[in-house]
Structure 1
Amino acid sequence: MRLLTATLTALVLTAHSVSAQSGSLIDRYFAAFDMDQVLELLKEEGIKAGEGLTEDDGVILSPAWTARLRRIYDEDKAAELFRDAMEDIANIEASEPAIAFFESDLGQRIVQIELDARRALNAEGGEELAAAKVRDVRDNDPALYLMYQKFIEVNDLIESNVMGALNSNLAFYQGMATNEQYEEGLTDSFMLSTVWEQEPEIREEMEEWTINFSVMAYGALSKSEIQAYIDISDTDAGKKLNTALFAGFDAMFEAQSYELGRATAEFMLGEDT
């Protein structure tokens, strides 16, 4: 009996140790990637997109709707969803070398230029500017263009983002279906078929967005720096970090989309109290 107790104690201590290590790594991730700034930017994007819904979509822009959007995209709630998803990743400790890369001077530069690139793409005329830069690189520096394509491939940016977008769209419909007025029409088969019909368009948009983003962001790096980024991304640690990153974003976006679907259904029916 004492042996069993000792074994259980050892298991509990080990579990606490692993949990503490995971928490420490996630804290390092949040600091290295400036997640406070990332989540603030994503909140702004979410609110802007939500406010862009027109009366044709069944939602009238109002202070109540904007307030609901702010609750949906609350940074603290988003951070909690993100952390919880990352903590569920098995052996997240294996990502430590990749986190260390982003804590380096080069890694910190990359974090900031990625944030700057996202803001630039969101600005008026940003997408057109990015597309022009892509054409210029493709025509005048094909080797650099291939590096951008390699970066996108190594990080599985297109496939992961397409699947994330499809899951978020499904979550939106599932959120709407919680309202009894829409439950009957929003069957599982209807929601799945509707979402999958969107796949080609989403894929095309993602292919365009990833190359536009890459050129806008990494144009500030030398080819050797881009190669260093590709190299760390292609390691086991880089892939593990990518897995954790997408798990965090997917969980966050799906939860937000679900709540947006619920809110949309309520506001379409005037249940906006």
Structure 2
Amino acid sequence: MTRVLSLVSATVFALLVTSPMARAAGEDMAALIDALRIDETVEIMRKEGLRYGSELGAEMLPGVNAKAWQDQVARIYDTDKMAQVVTQGFETALDGKEIAEVVAFFTSETGQEIISLELSAREAFLNEDTEMAAMDAYERARDENSYLFQQVETLISDSDLVDYNVMGALNSNLMFYRGLADGGAFEMSEEDMLADVWSQEGDVRNDSEGWLGAFLILAYQPLGDDELEAYAEFYRSEQGKVLNAAIFEAYDQMYEELSYLLGRAVAQQMQSEEL
């Protein structure tokens, strides 16, 4: 703790954190983090990051030593640090919130099946052919206006997934620019960086809509109609909305930190090449 507490305050604090209510809240949080399988999610995100870092190096650093650059990218995408940022983000976002119903849903058989399907779909998307096939499947489902398409669109709309993804992507892009600027790659005012980032909003929105639809169609294909409806109903609830906001807050914080570090790393490589 960063401040000195009086003896009375410290005693009260100790009583609070060891109370049955506090212990129950801590147990719920631990159970939720375990049920959402954050460690596995972060591992897949690391693989995505390594691929993105390779593409970034080829585009912005054509003269860089590929292995040295990939080693640097791998150090940035440290799964332990990534998981720590996400976990702390969840704890902060959900502090004082009632999450017993959230835990009950995601520790249920349906909740665990949904998490498994989402992880499998995200892993599958590491293969570009699979991703393109999912995009085609999404277009067919939209043309047919299938029940799965309708439920996916409902989930996307009810959870504001497009807006959350767009804002997260734009904030990450801004942090990348800041990393480049702080690393000495260029001089650019905050106003100019913001203007450039916002000019990307339309393209980012289109990409987000297509990616989300394809991803969710692929992930939820095995679910029954009742399971899909239960999931949609959960995210319409107040606790579902609280969890949704917490998820994006936690993961966006992680992505922003990674983007800034990538920007700094690119800038450092540019400086080295100039020398």
Normalised TM-score (structure 2)? 0.88
Matched, 1:36 2:39: yes
Give, in whole Å, the separation in 2 of the partners of 1:136 and 1:194: 35
- SS of the equivalent of 1:153 reads helix
CA distance 1:224–1:78, shift in 2 (3 Å): same
The match for 1:109 among 109, 113, 116 is 113
Q: Distance in 2 between matches of 1:35 and 1:118?
A: 13
Q: Is the 8 A contact 1:117 1:216 kept in 2?
A: yes
- Quote how far apart the aligned CAs of 1:176 are: 1.3
Alignment partner, residue 92 of structure 2: 88
Q: Deviations over 1:69-90 (max 9, x none)?
A: 1111101000111122222225
Give distance in 1, aligned partners of 2:182 and 2:25.
35
Contact 1:54 1:61 survives alignment (8 Å): no
Could you list the runs of 5+ residues in structure 1 that have no partner in the other structure? Answer: none
Correspondences of 1:1-273 after superposition (within 5 Å)? 9-11=11-13, 13-14=15-16, 23-58=26-61, 60-89=64-93, 91-182=95-186, 185-270=187-272
Deviation track 1:101-155 (CA, whole Å, cap 9, x = no partner) reads 1111111111111111112222131232112222332233533322110011112
**What is the distance in 1 between the residues matched to 2:119 and 2:174?**
27
Q: CA deviation at 1:242?
A: 1.2
Structure 1 stretch displaced more, 199-208 or 117-126: 117-126
Q: Is the 8 A contact 1:137 1:145 kept in 2?
A: yes
Moved more, 51-60 or 148-157: 51-60
Amino acid paired to 2:143: D
Paired with 1:92 and 1:109, the residues of 2 have a C-alpha distance of 28
Question: Which stretch shows the higher mean deviation, 204-213 or 236-245?
Answer: 236-245
**Per-residue deviation, 1:220:** 0.9
- SS of 2:212's partner is helix
1:10 shift after superposition: 2.9
Judged with a 3 Å threshold, the aligned counterparts in structure 2 of structure 1 residues 6 and 166 are, in CA distance, closer, same or farther, namely same
The separation in 1 between residues aligned to 2:221 and 2:75, in whole angstroms, is: 36
Q: 1:61 and 1:33 mapped to 2: Cα distance?
A: 38
Q: Offset of 1:161 from its aligned partner?
A: 0.6
| TM-score in terms of structure 1 length | 0.89
Report if the CA contact (8 A) 2:93-2:250 is conserved: no
CA RMSD of aligned residues (A): 2.3
CA contact 1:32–1:108 (8 Å) conserved in 2:
yes
Give the direction of change, closer, same or farther, for the CA distance of 1:72–1:100 in structure 2 (3 Å limit): same
Aligned length, in residue pairs: 267
Q: Kindly indicate whether the alpha-carbon contact (under 8 Å) linking 1:137 and 1:144 is maintained by their aligned counterparts in 2.
A: yes
Return structure 1 stretches of 4+ with deviation > 4 angstroms: 4-8, 15-23
AA partner of residue 260 (structure 1): L
The offset of 1:208, in angstroms, is: 0.5
- Distance across 2 between alignment mates of 1:26 and 1:49: 32
Give 2:3's aligned residue.
none
Seen in structure 2, the aligned counterparts of structure 1 residues 268 and 26 have a Cα distance that, compared at 3 Å, is farther
Alpha-carbon distance, 1:13 to partner: 2.9
